[in-house]
Amino acid sequence: MSSNGTSGTRTLPTSERIDWVDYAKGICIVMVVMMHSTLGVEAAAGKQGFMHLFVEFAKPFRMPDFFLISGLFLARVIDRDWRTYLDRKVVHFAYFYVLWVTIQFGFKAPAFAAEQGWTHVGVMYLQSFIEPFGTLWFIYLLPVFFVVTKATRRIPAALIWLAAAALEAIHVSTGWTVIDEFAARFVYFYSGYLFANYVFALADRAREKPNTALIGLAAWAIANGVLVFAGFGDRPVISLILGFAGACAVIVTGTLLARANWLGFLRYCGEHSIVIYLAFFLPMAITRVVLLKTGIIPDIGLVSLIDTVAGVTGALLMWWGAKRAGLNFLFERPAMFWIAPKQKRPALQAAE
């Protein structure tokens, strides 16, 4: 494979969606919502439920797979001029970050003000442009990855990958989200870009030999579970291995689901993963408060599960409602926020 990864994405039309990619993204976004829902419910209730086991099991690979898939198709666009590239890969995500961090603050500001005053709320809002706020750190960090990858193309890819792997292995912990998450996640994004052809080959092999793939998934699940619940999942090097192994497992699972055409809702979630990522916080928070305040469901694990479903479905309902109400700007970038030439873009570009 060439150092710039151009052979990894093959010659697919830019409008074509790949079934297993959407399934894999769907699995990832559901796991992300599950984590926030479960940990939020447990923190509010002061105890853990059965969903905590699923969250812990997925911890090594939940975000690595998201970032790896985000890098898969970068070779298609990395050669574009900087203006177009920045429009698609920086301004695009910056628009949604600014919009949704403002929306989140609108809902949370009264509680923050009650604790420390409105001046502190203003400071927190300004700080959110340096220190990513809450659940939105993913779309804050993704443009950084895109820029770094394009800016370092003249550096041998092997050196960049080894440096990225070393950063993950040493578990950088400065307290700053951008620095710490860059160190922990860039190796997966860059691997998606650099080794895309191997990723597609893995998916092809899983589709051709499903029985072998199922055996491999079973072996991985056992190994991942043993290492995680034995307390080794966060150890240097082991975390890197588990991150890649889990990412491969999600890709294989997505391929098998696509092959069988099962659980189509996961594919739909993957097609609209950014929509869910942007909006799930609100239905999740409302559902959590209602369920815990009423106590109608005593089992914390079940509350966490319902909260997860509410976060995913609620976000999609908000998206559908926004389209019907003419509030497309919530999930589509208006023309005024484009910097690329008009003839190269539509009036709106969806969040994903």
The answer to whether residue 9 is domain-embedded is: no
Answer yes or no: is 76 within a domain.
yes
Task: State the pLDDT at residue 15.
Answer: 41
Let me know if residue 120 belongs to a domain: yes
pLDDT at 230: 97
How many independent structural domains does the chain possess?
1
pLDDT at position 337 over 50 = yes
Residue 118 in any domain: the answer is yes
User: Is 0.85 surpassed by the pTM of this model?
Assistant: yes
pLDDT of residue 1: 36
Specify the pLDDT at position 11: 42
Q: What is the pLDDT of residue 66?
A: 93
Residue 14 has pLDDT above 80, yes or no: no
pLDDT of residue 133: 87
172 Rama class: left (phi>0) / alpha (psi -120 to 50) / beta: beta
Q: How confident is the model at residue 17 (pLDDT cuts 50, 70, 90)?
A: confident
pLDDT tens digits, one per residue of 51-69 = 999 999 999 999 999 999 9
Residue 310 lies in a domain: yes
* Residue 29: domain span: 19-350
Is 148 within the bounds of a domain? yes
Residue 7: inside a domain:
no
Quick: pLDDT tens for 101-147: 999 988 888 888 888 888 888 998 999 999 998 889 999 999 999 99
> Tens digit of pLDDT for each residue in 168-202?
999 999 999 999 999 999 999 999 999 999 999 99
